[in-house]
Structure 1
Amino acid sequence: MFTFHHFNFNVLDLERSLRFYKDALDLTPVRKKEADDGSFKLVYLGDGATGFQLELTWLRDRTEPYDLGEGEFHLAFSVPDLDAAHKRHAALGCICFENPAMGIYFIEDPDGYWVEIVPERK
């Protein structure tokens, strides 16, 4: 049986991304890997509730923003209180798209990746 393990986002400024994911989504590092020569760092973030992880990859020699194509992919998080989450993200200034008819919205991380926020289904 296959099970989800992790998803990767490549980032230009690892510390900035770590702050964003902590402030916006309460994600914290659960494991790290660094190349002996310092050429890359991998930090896996967890939500403390599931086993799924978001891997942030930093490459020392990368200086140009990543090409995210047409941005037609995203990661999604559910939340029990959508209104409270929306207020939090509005205060952080990271909401990039809202779809009130569907009851969802998106936030954008420092590298331009979109993260969908959906209400928890009961």
Structure 2
Amino acid sequence: MIKGIHHKAFHVVDMDKTLEFYCDKLGFERSFDLDTDEGEPWIVYVKIAENSFIEFFYDGSKEDKNQLDHICFEVDDINEAAGRVKDKGIPFSQEVSKGKDNNYQFWIRDPDGNWLEFMEMQPDSPQMRS
């Protein structure tokens, strides 16, 4: 189960493909859309959890798909989350592993090449001690 993050913005090339990935495969929910002042599609909000969203902009391709530009979803159980992703046939960019911060994580990429990290926080991690 996802525990939180308010939102992260991505620019997408193919909104239909992006929504199929996040909604149909990952199981998130399309929440609402915003249009420009001229009435053109601008942003689609996808709800991840209570008060937690991703904003998808209709702005086309993005040159730099650097892993540093990512969103991290906190999960209760990393193995259960990884199993759900694998069951949907989504390839892993990095399998479940323990990071330098002592948390368990795995990484995938969406259809536009954006990096997604899933992390289970550990009681002895620096994030939990601060």
TM range (shorter): 0.7 to 0.9
Q: Percent identity?
A: 24
The residue aligned with 1:88 is: 84
**Is 1:52 matched up with 2:49?**
no
In structure 1, stretches of 5+ residues that fail to align are: none
Q: Which amino acid aligns with 2:48?
A: D
The residue aligned with 1:79 is: 75
Q: 1:112 deviation in Å?
A: 0.5
**Is 1:104 matched up with 2:105?**
yes
Superimposed CA distance per residue, residues 12-69 of structure 1 (whole angstroms, 9 cap, x where no aligned partner): 111111111124443212220234464x4310111242x132100113xx4xx42125
Contact residue 11 and residue 58 of structure 2 kept, 8 A: yes
In structure 2, stretches of 5+ residues that fail to align are: 124-130
**Is 1:119 matched up with 2:120?**
yes
Q: Which runs of 4+ in 1 moved over 3 A?
A: 35-38
Contact residue 24 and residue 88 of structure 1 kept, 8 A: no
For normalisation by structure 1, the TM-score amounts to 0.75
Q: 1:5 deviation in Å?
A: 5.4
For 2:48 and 2:6, how far apart are their aligned partners in 1? 13
Q: State the number of aligned residues.
A: 113
For normalisation by structure 2, the TM-score amounts to 0.71
**Is 1:67 matched up with 2:63?**
yes
For 1:116 and 1:89, how far apart are their aligned partners in 2? 12
Task: Provide the alpha-carbon RMSD of the alignment.
Answer: 2.4
Map of 1:29-48 to 2, 5 A cutoff?
A: 29-35=30-36, 36=38, 38=40, 40-48=41-49
